[in-house]
Amino acid sequence: MKISTAHEPEDRQPETAAGHATRKQRDAEKVGAALDTHRDALKTMFPVPSSRAPRRKRTAAAGTALAALLAAGLWGIDPAYRSEHFVTQIGERSTVELADGSRLVLDTATELTVQWHLRSRRVVLADGRAHFDVAAAIWRPFTVDAGQTQVRVVGTRFDVWRRPDGTSVSVYEGKVAVWRKDRKNAQIVLLPGQQAEVSDVDEAQALSRADIAGDTQGAWKDGRLVFLDTPLTEALAVIQRYHRAPIRLADAQTGRLTVSGVFDSRNTDQLLRLLPGILPLQVERKADGSTELGAR
């Protein structure tokens, strides 16, 4: 299908601000109309979970869609034509299979949106942590937007954990480019066994790289929490993500204790009961269901 546009006179007057806004609105409407017209063909050409077309039919539809997109000028601006939203509750872990062959594992209390674009695959991680096993597609890169943190890959395995003060990215296979949204020229490349910490609050340590310490990062996918001389305050912050009722420390001094061990994230009540056998602590369950940890 060919989409034609009217030619403007060669001696046109300079465009005013109002005229520019009107033209932008017309262009946006044209893009939306073209997407609506070819949405079914786009789903066939760029797979989403609902697409199950036979290969021969898919190839023919792809050719028609590509010709229409080129004629409409949509290929260059990479518009989105479908999005999928996924959420896990506290204590829940979920696996998502995408139609392009990618596999996502969502940790507890995680929210993300998968956006299908013509020339890219994009994920917006609003909260929590996810593991990405990305199917390779050189011409269609896979990106993750986690607030200030930006991640770009072609095909690889990695985690992205978005926290209130920043984001960590851990790579297990392939290569991953990571940068802060406001500092794209300062991006770093992570190799297997490396991780990046991106701070949203500390400008001096905005982006740093280190080796992954043991199995502390990827164990969560198997329902394990691994702590290696971790300050109790940090360990409890991780445990709290899997525990609905509040967990509190009676005093700051108690929070300076360190904990090591492997625990089951699916039974945080038992984990809290085990802590007094590991550290000089007493655990008290309050009437409101909260748990308080203090020195013994």
Task: Kindly write down the DSSP assignment for every residue of 79-91, as one continuous string.
Answer: -EEEEEEEE--TT
User: What pLDDT tens digit does each residue of the chain (296 aa) get?
Assistant: 333 333 334 444 555 655 555 665 665 555 556 555 555 655 555 554 443 444 444 445 445 555 555 544 554 567 788 899 999 999 999 999 998 999 999 999 999 999 999 889 999 999 999 999 999 987 889 999 999 999 999 889 999 999 999 999 999 999 999 999 988 888 999 999 999 999 988 777 789 999 987 666 679 999 999 998 999 999 999 999 999 999 999 999 999 999 999 999 999 999 999 999 999 999 999 999 999 999 98
Please check whether residue 86 lies inside any domain of the structure. yes
- E strand or H helix at 177: strand 176-180
* Last residue within a domain, chosen from 211, 231, 259: 211
Same domain? 88 vs 172:
yes
What residue has token string 């949204």?
Answer: 181
Q: Identify the domain boundary among 181, 211, 241.
A: 211
Contact (CB, 8 A) for 34 and 74: yes
Torsion of CA 68, 73, 77, 83, to 10 degrees: -30
Domain match, 197 and 154 both:
yes
Query: Residue type for 26, please?
Result: R
d(CA 174, CA 189): 10
- Which pLDDT score is estimated for 234? 94
The parent domain of residue 41 ranges over 17-77
88 lies in the same domain as 183:
yes
Structural domains counted in the chain: 3
User: Where is 157: in which H helix or E strand?
Assistant: strand 157-163
Residues 110-168 have pLDDT tens digits of 999 999 998 899 999 999 999 999 999 878 899 999 999 999 998 899 999 999 999 99
* Cα 265 off chain centre by: 21
Residues 87 and 161 in one domain: yes
pTM of the full structure: 0.75
Q: Examine the domain organization and report whether 287 and 271 are in the same domain.
A: yes
Same domain (yes/no): 108, 148: yes
Q: Give me the half-sphere count of Cα atoms (radius 13 Å) on the Cβ side of residue 1.
A: 13
Residue 166 lies in a domain: yes
Instruction: Let me know whether 147 and 184 are in one domain.
Output: yes
175 in any annotated domain: yes
